[in-house]
Amino acid sequence: MSSDVSETPVQIDTGTAYGMAAPDFDAELVEVEAGTPTGEMLRRYWHPFGVADDATETPKQVRILGEDLILFRDGQGRAGLVYPRCCHRGTTLYYGKVEATGIRCCYHGWLFDVEGHCLDMPVETDGGQHKERYRQPWYPVHEYHGMLFAYLGPPEHKPVFPTYDIFDDVPDGWHIVADDNNIGLEGDPTPCNWLQTHENVMDPFHVFVLHAGFSGNQFVSEMAAMPDVSWHFTDLGVKSHQDRVLDDGRFFHRVTEVVMPNVRIVATPFVEFEGRATSVAWTLPISRTETKIFTLLKRPIGADRPRAMYNGKIWPDLTEEEHQRFPGDYEAQVGQGAITSHSEERLAGSDRGVSMFRHVFRKQIKTVADGDAPVMTAHYTVRAGNYIGDRDAVIELG
Protein backbone atom coordinates (compact mmCIF):
# COMPACT_ATOMS: atom_id res chain seq x y z
CA MET A 1 0.00 0.00 0.00
CA SER A 2 1.35 3.43 -0.87
CA SER A 3 0.13 6.98 -0.58
CA ASP A 4 0.30 10.22 -2.54
CA VAL A 5 1.75 13.16 -0.68
CA SER A 6 -1.40 15.18 -0.50
CA GLU A 7 -1.25 17.48 2.49
CA THR A 8 -1.46 21.19 1.68
CA PRO A 9 1.98 22.70 2.25
CA VAL A 10 1.17 26.41 2.21
CA GLN A 11 -1.66 27.95 4.20
CA ILE A 12 -2.54 26.55 7.62
CA ASP A 13 -5.93 27.34 9.13
CA THR A 14 -5.98 29.04 12.51
CA GLY A 15 -8.63 29.10 15.20
CA THR A 16 -10.44 25.94 14.18
CA ALA A 17 -12.41 23.85 16.65
CA TYR A 18 -9.86 21.02 16.42
CA GLY A 19 -8.20 20.27 19.73
CA MET A 20 -10.63 22.27 21.89
CA ALA A 21 -10.61 21.26 25.54
CA ALA A 22 -13.65 19.36 26.72
CA PRO A 23 -16.22 21.83 28.06
CA ASP A 24 -16.95 21.88 31.77
CA PHE A 25 -19.13 23.76 34.22
CA ASP A 26 -18.33 25.38 37.53
CA ALA A 27 -20.06 23.20 40.11
CA GLU A 28 -20.34 26.09 42.55
CA LEU A 29 -22.54 27.96 40.09
CA VAL A 30 -24.62 24.92 39.20
CA GLU A 31 -25.34 22.64 42.14
CA VAL A 32 -28.57 23.08 44.09
CA GLU A 33 -28.82 19.73 45.88
CA ALA A 34 -28.72 19.17 49.62
CA GLY A 35 -25.22 18.49 50.86
CA THR A 36 -23.50 20.61 48.20
CA PRO A 37 -22.02 23.94 49.33
CA THR A 38 -24.30 25.92 47.04
CA GLY A 39 -27.36 23.81 47.85
CA GLU A 40 -26.76 24.34 51.56
CA MET A 41 -26.48 28.09 51.09
CA LEU A 42 -29.70 28.20 49.03
CA ARG A 43 -31.43 26.19 51.77
CA ARG A 44 -30.87 29.04 54.23
CA TYR A 45 -33.60 31.05 52.50
CA TRP A 46 -37.36 30.69 51.91
CA HIS A 47 -38.24 29.73 48.33
CA PRO A 48 -41.53 30.13 46.47
CA PHE A 49 -42.75 26.97 44.74
CA GLY A 50 -46.43 27.46 43.94
CA VAL A 51 -49.53 29.56 44.35
CA ALA A 52 -52.12 29.12 47.09
CA ASP A 53 -54.52 27.26 44.80
CA ASP A 54 -51.91 24.55 44.21
CA ALA A 55 -52.51 23.29 47.75
CA THR A 56 -55.82 21.41 47.72
CA GLU A 57 -57.29 18.14 48.94
CA THR A 58 -55.80 16.49 45.83
CA PRO A 59 -52.12 15.77 46.53
CA LYS A 60 -49.76 17.41 44.05
CA GLN A 61 -46.16 16.59 43.14
CA VAL A 62 -43.73 19.50 43.42
CA ARG A 63 -39.95 19.74 43.07
CA ILE A 64 -37.80 22.31 44.87
CA LEU A 65 -33.98 22.48 44.77
CA GLY A 66 -33.95 18.97 43.33
CA GLU A 67 -36.19 17.49 46.05
CA ASP A 68 -39.47 15.78 45.16
CA LEU A 69 -42.25 16.54 47.60
CA ILE A 70 -46.02 16.22 47.98
CA LEU A 71 -48.16 19.31 48.57
CA PHE A 72 -51.67 19.20 50.00
CA ARG A 73 -54.04 21.31 52.11
CA ASP A 74 -55.80 19.62 55.01
CA GLY A 75 -59.42 20.11 55.99
CA GLN A 76 -58.42 22.87 58.38
CA GLY A 77 -56.84 24.89 55.57
CA ARG A 78 -53.22 24.20 56.46
CA ALA A 79 -50.83 23.62 53.55
CA GLY A 80 -48.64 20.55 54.01
CA LEU A 81 -45.39 19.77 52.21
CA VAL A 82 -44.10 16.29 52.92
CA TYR A 83 -41.55 13.76 51.69
CA PRO A 84 -43.29 11.64 49.04
CA ARG A 85 -42.45 8.17 50.35
CA CYS A 86 -44.56 7.12 53.33
CA CYS A 87 -42.23 6.50 56.27
CA HIS A 88 -43.76 3.01 56.70
CA ARG A 89 -43.42 1.07 53.43
CA GLY A 90 -42.50 3.84 51.01
CA THR A 91 -45.63 4.23 48.89
CA THR A 92 -45.99 7.77 47.56
CA LEU A 93 -48.45 10.01 49.35
CA TYR A 94 -49.46 11.29 45.89
CA TYR A 95 -52.09 8.54 46.18
CA GLY A 96 -52.92 9.56 49.73
CA LYS A 97 -56.33 10.73 50.93
CA VAL A 98 -56.50 14.19 52.45
CA GLU A 99 -58.61 14.41 55.58
CA ALA A 100 -59.45 17.06 58.14
CA THR A 101 -56.24 16.58 60.08
CA GLY A 102 -53.75 15.41 57.48
CA ILE A 103 -52.98 12.97 54.68
CA ARG A 104 -53.55 9.19 54.87
CA CYS A 105 -51.39 6.71 52.92
CA CYS A 106 -53.36 4.47 50.57
CA TYR A 107 -51.42 1.28 51.33
CA HIS A 108 -51.87 0.71 55.08
CA GLY A 109 -53.74 3.84 56.06
CA TRP A 110 -51.22 5.66 58.20
CA LEU A 111 -52.33 9.28 58.75
CA PHE A 112 -49.88 12.21 59.02
CA ASP A 113 -50.50 15.87 59.84
CA VAL A 114 -48.82 18.80 58.04
CA GLU A 115 -45.85 18.51 60.39
CA GLY A 116 -45.51 14.77 59.79
CA HIS A 117 -46.87 13.56 63.13
CA CYS A 118 -48.46 10.13 62.79
CA LEU A 119 -52.08 10.34 64.00
CA ASP A 120 -53.43 6.90 63.11
CA MET A 121 -52.28 3.37 62.15
CA PRO A 122 -55.54 1.53 61.50
CA VAL A 123 -54.08 -1.96 61.00
CA GLU A 124 -51.70 -1.87 63.94
CA THR A 125 -52.76 -2.92 67.44
CA ASP A 126 -54.93 -0.23 69.04
CA GLY A 127 -54.52 1.97 65.96
CA GLY A 128 -50.81 2.20 66.65
CA GLN A 129 -49.66 2.22 70.25
CA HIS A 130 -46.28 3.67 69.36
CA LYS A 131 -47.33 6.25 66.79
CA GLU A 132 -44.93 8.80 68.30
CA ARG A 133 -42.00 6.72 67.10
CA TYR A 134 -42.88 7.42 63.47
CA ARG A 135 -42.64 10.77 61.73
CA GLN A 136 -43.23 11.60 58.09
CA PRO A 137 -40.47 14.00 56.94
CA TRP A 138 -41.93 17.44 56.18
CA TYR A 139 -41.00 21.07 55.50
CA PRO A 140 -42.54 24.29 56.81
CA VAL A 141 -44.68 26.32 54.40
CA HIS A 142 -45.41 30.03 54.54
CA GLU A 143 -48.11 31.78 52.50
CA TYR A 144 -47.45 35.37 51.49
CA HIS A 145 -49.91 37.27 49.29
CA GLY A 146 -51.13 34.06 47.66
CA MET A 147 -47.67 32.58 47.05
CA LEU A 148 -46.46 29.43 48.79
CA PHE A 149 -42.90 29.46 50.16
CA ALA A 150 -40.97 26.58 51.72
CA TYR A 151 -37.94 26.41 53.96
CA LEU A 152 -35.79 23.36 53.17
CA GLY A 153 -32.83 24.22 55.38
CA PRO A 154 -31.55 23.33 58.84
CA PRO A 155 -34.36 24.01 61.35
CA GLU A 156 -32.09 25.79 63.80
CA HIS A 157 -31.34 28.40 61.13
CA LYS A 158 -34.86 29.00 59.84
CA PRO A 159 -35.08 32.75 59.23
CA VAL A 160 -38.10 34.95 59.74
CA PHE A 161 -40.02 35.23 56.51
CA PRO A 162 -38.79 38.35 54.68
CA THR A 163 -41.36 40.86 53.43
CA TYR A 164 -41.08 43.63 50.83
CA ASP A 165 -42.06 47.20 51.48
CA ILE A 166 -43.75 47.69 48.12
CA PHE A 167 -46.46 45.25 49.21
CA ASP A 168 -47.13 47.05 52.51
CA ASP A 169 -49.44 49.50 50.79
CA VAL A 170 -51.84 48.59 48.04
CA PRO A 171 -53.64 51.54 46.42
CA ASP A 172 -57.41 51.47 46.15
CA GLY A 173 -58.43 49.61 43.04
CA TRP A 174 -55.21 47.62 42.99
CA HIS A 175 -54.44 44.12 44.26
CA ILE A 176 -51.50 41.78 44.63
CA VAL A 177 -51.33 38.84 42.24
CA ALA A 178 -49.29 35.66 42.74
CA ASP A 179 -48.14 34.68 39.23
CA ASP A 180 -46.66 31.28 38.34
CA ASN A 181 -46.68 31.87 34.60
CA ASN A 182 -42.87 31.69 34.41
CA ILE A 183 -42.73 34.96 32.46
CA GLY A 184 -44.77 34.03 29.44
CA LEU A 185 -44.12 30.28 29.37
CA GLU A 186 -47.62 29.38 30.59
CA GLY A 187 -46.17 27.83 33.70
CA ASP A 188 -43.86 25.33 32.06
CA PRO A 189 -40.39 25.09 33.62
CA THR A 190 -37.40 26.41 31.71
CA PRO A 191 -35.10 23.47 30.88
CA CYS A 192 -31.77 24.91 31.99
CA ASN A 193 -29.84 25.74 35.12
CA TRP A 194 -31.44 28.53 37.12
CA LEU A 195 -28.35 30.75 37.21
CA GLN A 196 -28.37 31.14 33.42
CA THR A 197 -31.81 32.64 33.81
CA HIS A 198 -31.08 34.60 36.93
CA GLU A 199 -27.79 36.32 36.15
CA ASN A 200 -29.37 37.65 32.97
CA VAL A 201 -31.06 40.21 35.25
CA MET A 202 -27.70 41.89 35.80
CA ASP A 203 -27.04 41.98 32.03
CA PRO A 204 -29.00 45.02 30.79
CA PHE A 205 -27.18 45.14 27.47
CA HIS A 206 -28.89 42.03 26.20
CA VAL A 207 -32.13 44.02 26.32
CA PHE A 208 -30.77 46.37 23.71
CA VAL A 209 -29.56 43.53 21.44
CA LEU A 210 -31.95 40.66 22.01
CA HIS A 211 -35.20 42.38 22.89
CA ALA A 212 -34.93 45.59 20.91
CA GLY A 213 -32.66 45.10 17.93
CA PHE A 214 -32.55 41.46 17.03
CA SER A 215 -36.13 40.34 17.20
CA GLY A 216 -37.95 43.60 16.68
CA ASN A 217 -38.79 45.59 19.78
CA GLN A 218 -40.41 43.15 22.19
CA PHE A 219 -41.19 45.88 24.72
CA VAL A 220 -41.74 49.64 24.25
CA SER A 221 -39.89 52.47 22.54
CA GLU A 222 -38.53 53.88 25.79
CA MET A 223 -36.52 50.65 26.18
CA ALA A 224 -35.10 50.49 22.66
CA ALA A 225 -32.28 53.00 22.96
CA MET A 226 -28.83 51.94 24.12
CA PRO A 227 -28.47 52.98 27.78
CA ASP A 228 -25.56 54.16 29.86
CA VAL A 229 -25.09 51.35 32.35
CA SER A 230 -23.42 51.11 35.73
CA TRP A 231 -23.51 48.47 38.45
CA HIS A 232 -23.35 48.83 42.22
CA PHE A 233 -23.11 46.42 45.14
CA THR A 234 -25.98 46.69 47.63
CA ASP A 235 -26.30 45.28 51.14
CA LEU A 236 -27.93 42.13 49.83
CA GLY A 237 -26.89 41.90 46.20
CA VAL A 238 -26.25 44.03 43.14
CA LYS A 239 -28.18 46.69 41.24
CA SER A 240 -27.74 48.18 37.81
CA HIS A 241 -28.55 51.68 36.59
CA GLN A 242 -29.62 52.01 32.99
CA ASP A 243 -29.82 55.66 32.01
CA ARG A 244 -31.27 57.02 28.80
CA VAL A 245 -32.32 60.45 27.53
CA LEU A 246 -35.73 59.96 25.93
CA ASP A 247 -36.78 61.58 22.67
CA ASP A 248 -38.80 64.18 24.58
CA GLY A 249 -35.71 65.20 26.54
CA ARG A 250 -36.70 63.62 29.82
CA PHE A 251 -34.18 61.51 31.70
CA PHE A 252 -35.05 57.81 32.15
CA HIS A 253 -33.26 56.35 35.18
CA ARG A 254 -34.04 52.64 35.27
CA VAL A 255 -32.87 50.60 38.24
CA THR A 256 -32.86 46.79 38.37
CA GLU A 257 -31.71 44.72 41.32
CA VAL A 258 -30.93 41.20 42.42
CA VAL A 259 -31.17 40.22 46.08
CA MET A 260 -29.46 37.15 47.55
CA PRO A 261 -29.77 34.49 46.60
CA ASN A 262 -32.40 34.37 43.83
CA VAL A 263 -34.65 37.42 44.10
CA ARG A 264 -35.04 39.60 41.04
CA ILE A 265 -36.69 43.03 41.18
CA VAL A 266 -37.28 44.42 37.73
CA ALA A 267 -39.59 47.32 36.95
CA THR A 268 -41.97 46.60 34.12
CA PRO A 269 -40.17 46.77 30.74
CA PHE A 270 -43.41 48.07 29.28
CA VAL A 271 -42.96 51.19 31.44
CA GLU A 272 -46.64 51.28 32.26
CA PHE A 273 -45.90 52.68 35.70
CA GLU A 274 -43.27 55.23 36.62
CA GLY A 275 -41.55 55.15 39.97
CA ARG A 276 -40.68 52.17 42.09
CA ALA A 277 -41.10 48.65 40.80
CA THR A 278 -44.46 47.03 41.48
CA SER A 279 -43.29 43.43 41.52
CA VAL A 280 -40.79 41.07 43.10
CA ALA A 281 -39.85 37.74 41.52
CA TRP A 282 -37.85 34.67 42.47
CA THR A 283 -35.90 32.36 40.17
CA LEU A 284 -36.58 28.93 41.64
CA PRO A 285 -34.07 26.16 40.99
CA ILE A 286 -36.55 23.30 40.59
CA SER A 287 -33.54 21.12 39.97
CA ARG A 288 -30.13 21.81 38.52
CA THR A 289 -31.64 21.72 35.02
CA GLU A 290 -35.18 23.03 35.61
CA THR A 291 -36.08 26.58 36.51
CA LYS A 292 -39.22 28.57 37.12
CA ILE A 293 -39.83 32.22 37.91
CA PHE A 294 -42.54 33.09 40.43
CA THR A 295 -43.72 36.70 40.57
CA LEU A 296 -45.70 38.72 43.10
CA LEU A 297 -47.08 41.85 41.48
CA LYS A 298 -49.24 44.80 42.42
CA ARG A 299 -51.68 45.68 39.64
CA PRO A 300 -54.82 47.71 38.98
CA ILE A 301 -57.69 45.28 39.37
CA GLY A 302 -58.96 44.17 35.98
CA ALA A 303 -56.24 45.81 33.91
CA ASP A 304 -54.76 43.73 31.12
CA ARG A 305 -51.15 42.88 31.56
CA PRO A 306 -48.89 43.53 28.55
CA ARG A 307 -46.92 40.58 27.19
CA ALA A 308 -43.72 40.45 25.18
CA MET A 309 -44.49 40.03 21.48
CA TYR A 310 -42.40 38.22 18.89
CA ASN A 311 -43.37 38.70 15.26
CA GLY A 312 -46.76 39.81 16.58
CA LYS A 313 -47.28 36.64 18.61
CA ILE A 314 -46.78 35.50 22.19
CA TRP A 315 -43.93 33.07 22.74
CA PRO A 316 -45.86 29.78 23.03
CA ASP A 317 -47.42 30.37 19.60
CA LEU A 318 -44.13 30.63 17.69
CA THR A 319 -43.06 28.11 15.06
CA GLU A 320 -39.56 26.64 15.16
CA GLU A 321 -38.47 29.01 12.41
CA GLU A 322 -39.91 31.98 14.33
CA HIS A 323 -38.01 30.89 17.42
CA GLN A 324 -34.89 31.13 15.26
CA ARG A 325 -35.81 34.49 13.73
CA PHE A 326 -37.31 36.13 16.84
CA PRO A 327 -35.42 34.70 19.81
CA GLY A 328 -36.05 35.89 23.35
CA ASP A 329 -34.68 35.14 26.81
CA TYR A 330 -35.72 31.50 26.55
CA GLU A 331 -33.68 30.91 23.39
CA ALA A 332 -30.66 32.87 24.64
CA GLN A 333 -30.56 31.07 28.01
CA VAL A 334 -31.69 27.56 27.13
CA GLY A 335 -29.44 27.98 24.09
CA GLN A 336 -26.49 27.94 26.51
CA GLY A 337 -27.37 24.30 27.18
CA ALA A 338 -29.08 22.53 30.07
CA ILE A 339 -25.99 23.54 32.04
CA THR A 340 -23.77 26.12 30.40
CA SER A 341 -20.03 25.44 30.06
CA HIS A 342 -18.35 28.04 32.24
CA SER A 343 -14.98 26.81 31.02
CA GLU A 344 -15.76 28.27 27.60
CA GLU A 345 -17.03 31.67 28.73
CA ARG A 346 -15.09 34.78 27.74
CA LEU A 347 -16.62 37.55 29.87
CA ALA A 348 -16.21 41.05 28.42
CA GLY A 349 -16.67 44.57 29.76
CA SER A 350 -20.44 44.51 29.36
CA ASP A 351 -20.63 41.43 31.59
CA ARG A 352 -19.49 43.25 34.71
CA GLY A 353 -22.92 42.88 36.36
CA VAL A 354 -22.79 39.13 35.91
CA SER A 355 -19.35 39.02 37.50
CA MET A 356 -20.49 41.16 40.41
CA PHE A 357 -23.52 38.95 41.02
CA ARG A 358 -21.36 35.84 41.02
CA HIS A 359 -18.96 37.51 43.41
CA VAL A 360 -21.67 38.15 46.02
CA PHE A 361 -23.19 34.73 45.39
CA ARG A 362 -19.89 32.92 45.93
CA LYS A 363 -19.32 34.97 49.06
CA GLN A 364 -22.57 33.66 50.57
CA ILE A 365 -21.56 30.09 49.76
CA LYS A 366 -18.28 30.58 51.56
CA THR A 367 -20.00 32.28 54.49
CA VAL A 368 -22.36 29.35 55.02
CA ALA A 369 -19.58 26.80 54.50
CA ASP A 370 -17.65 28.65 57.21
CA GLY A 371 -20.55 28.30 59.61
CA ASP A 372 -21.79 31.89 59.44
CA ALA A 373 -25.14 33.34 58.36
CA PRO A 374 -25.57 34.57 54.78
CA VAL A 375 -26.91 38.08 54.19
CA MET A 376 -30.65 38.53 54.56
CA THR A 377 -33.24 40.87 56.02
CA ALA A 378 -36.68 40.70 57.59
CA HIS A 379 -38.11 43.58 55.57
CA TYR A 380 -36.72 44.69 52.24
CA THR A 381 -36.83 48.22 50.86
CA VAL A 382 -37.09 48.03 47.08
CA ARG A 383 -34.84 50.27 45.00
CA ALA A 384 -35.69 49.09 41.48
CA GLY A 385 -37.91 51.26 39.32
CA ASN A 386 -38.52 53.30 36.20
CA TYR A 387 -37.70 56.83 37.29
CA ILE A 388 -38.45 59.40 34.56
CA GLY A 389 -38.16 63.18 34.74
CA ASP A 390 -35.52 65.80 35.32
CA ARG A 391 -32.10 64.17 35.64
CA ASP A 392 -31.25 65.69 38.99
CA ALA A 393 -34.64 64.79 40.38
CA VAL A 394 -34.58 61.09 39.43
CA ILE A 395 -30.94 60.06 39.53
CA GLU A 396 -30.96 59.39 43.27
CA LEU A 397 -34.31 57.63 43.46
CA GLY A 398 -33.19 54.01 43.08
Sign of the CA dihedral with 110 first, then 116, 118, and 119 last: negative
Taking CB under 8 A as the criterion, which residues in 3-62 touch its own copies?
A: 3-8, 12-20, 23, 34, 43, 58-59
**Least separation in angstroms between CB 277 and its own copies:** 21
CB atoms within 10 A of CB 215: 20
**Residue 112 C-alpha from the chain's centroid:** 31
Taking CB under 8 A as the criterion, which residues in 294-323 touch its own copies?
A: 321, 323
Binding span for its own copies by CB under 8 A among 245-253, 301-309, 326-334, 390-398: 326-334
d(CA 176, CA 187): 18
**Least separation in angstroms between CB 74 and its own copies:** 16
d(CA 174, CA 351): 37
Taking CB under 8 A as the criterion, which residues in 263-292 touch its own copies?
A: none
What order of strands is seen across the sheet that includes strand 79-82?
60-64, 67-73, 79-82
**Least separation in angstroms between CB 72 and its own copies:** 11
Regarding 160 and contact with its own copies (CB under 8 A), the answer is yes
Regarding 351 and contact with its own copies (CB under 8 A), the answer is yes
Taking CB under 8 A as the criterion, which residues in 365-384 touch its own copies?
A: 373-378
Q: Which of 24, 53, 188, 235 binds its own copies (CB under 8 A)?
A: 235
Query: Smaller CB distance to its own copies: residue 303 or 373?
Result: 373
In 261-270, which positions are buried (b, 16+ CB within 10 angstroms) versus exposed (e)? Answer: bbbbbbbbbb
Regarding 2 and contact with its own copies (CB under 8 A), the answer is yes
CB atoms within 10 A of CB 315: 21
Taking CB under 8 A as the criterion, which residues in 69-108 touch its own copies?
A: 69, 82-83, 85, 87-92, 94-95, 97, 104, 106-108
Contact track, its own copies, 129-158, x by CB under 8 A? -----xxxxxxx-----------xxxxxxx
**Least separation in angstroms between CB 247 and its own copies:** 21
d(CA 16, CA 18): 5
The span from the first CA to the last CA of the chain, in angstroms, equals: 77
Contact track, its own copies, 202-231, x by CB under 8 A? ---xx-xxx--xxx----------x-----
Question: Torsions phi, psi of 93, nearest 5?
Answer: -75, 0
Question: Torsions phi, psi of 275, nearest 5?
Answer: 95, -155
